[in-house]
Chain A
């Protein structure tokens, strides 16, 4: 039993080190990975927003002048025109283009049953199709977006696609809010 636990511990340490960046002192190693056949992987990064005091939550009060992200998250007069506040990233690699990726989210909601809608902007470039222009897609709670890669040349690589947050209506009720963004990866 002890041995099994010890092995598990070692394995976990190894997994953690695989996904973390390292500071290089006297040299470092780089993991090289490859595949044969069909390979489709979507990696959703950490929630990266941190306020100046380390708070993970976004201050949703756009009328508070001390809120330094209020201009980034305030609703725009013309909806779905500006990206917003960067909160996360994702990577997609696929050896085949017959896949779809649907991104959807519910409203931000608090424990008191209040909810507000927001725009989620996804800023991405498909590196493998020689496209140099950025693609910006906007998603609200009622309008999920499905990325269809079927026009691609068989290889899909998206690196560091940005996930941006912007309110689409003003928050008026106090509370801590959360919303789940769901990624669905499907073959066609």
Chain B
């Protein structure tokens, strides 16, 4: 008897799941659509940073992803700047904050990080939006120094989620000045640049 009841309940359930529903005048019928969304394996944003030509390099090897460094080489009085470019593309309808951090120029000489006395500034222009980003920061450091991996000056961009196309491109220039006494063209100086993403 109990088994028969269980069979009956199972059959009734099956009928509900598999049978079409028929309605007539004055009645309502429903149909349920199901879907799911899990985390996508594909990255939802891409950041590229490169120095040199404005044209983005085709080769992966020439790109600097997310963090990297630019080299100030052949530093002479009439070319105290290094220019780098960046692009940021995103696919999802979110707002992202990009924070650019950079260190002052430094060189590794005889197992010692060498920070010459200098001042620097970094300016960034963002090409697509009409408002020009012109924040300027500067700092001054005296020799002898040590590797300043915890020093950061930051510039933030906010990528608008409703932007179309979902892409930002920009150019930043790092300018060094007041360096005549300390900087030597014999060494290679590097500024480390890091870009951090945050969904806001």
Contacts and interface: CB of A to CB of B under 8 A. Distances in A.
Contact of B92 (A8, A90, A172): A172
B34 A178 contact: yes
A173 B8 contact: no
Contacts of B1: 1-2, 5
B11 A9 contact: yes
A42 B24 contact: yes
Contacts of B130: none
Interface in A90-110: 90, 99, 105, 108, 110
Contacts of B7: 9
B42 A43 contact: no
B25 A180 contact: no
Interface string B35-70: 111111110100000000000000000000000000
Interface in A54-70: 55-61, 63-66
Contacts of B11: 9, 12-13, 16
B34 A63 contact: no
B20 A57 contact: no
Interface stretch (A44-52, A126-134, A147-155): A44-52
Interface of B: 1, 4-5, 7-8, 11-12, 14-15, 18-42, 44, 91-94
Interface string A13-31: 1011001100000000000
Nearest to A169: B93
A165 B33 CA distance: 8
Interface residues on A, range: 35 or more
A44 B25 contact: no
B24 A41 contact: yes
Given A178-B32, A181-B33, 15 more contacts: A13-B11, A16-B18, A16-B19, A19-B20, A44-B29, A46-B19, A47-B31, A58-B34, A61-B40, A64-B41, A170-B92, A171-B37, A174-B39, A183-B23, A183-B28
Contact of A47 (B19, B22, B33): B33
Contacts of B5: 5
26 contacts: A5-B5, A6-B4, A9-B11, A42-B22, A43-B22, A44-B22, A44-B23, A45-B20, A46-B20, A47-B31, A58-B33, A58-B34, A59-B35, A60-B37, A64-B42, A108-B35, A170-B93, A177-B37, A179-B32, A182-B28, A183-B23, A183-B30, A185-B23, A185-B24, A185-B25, A187-B25
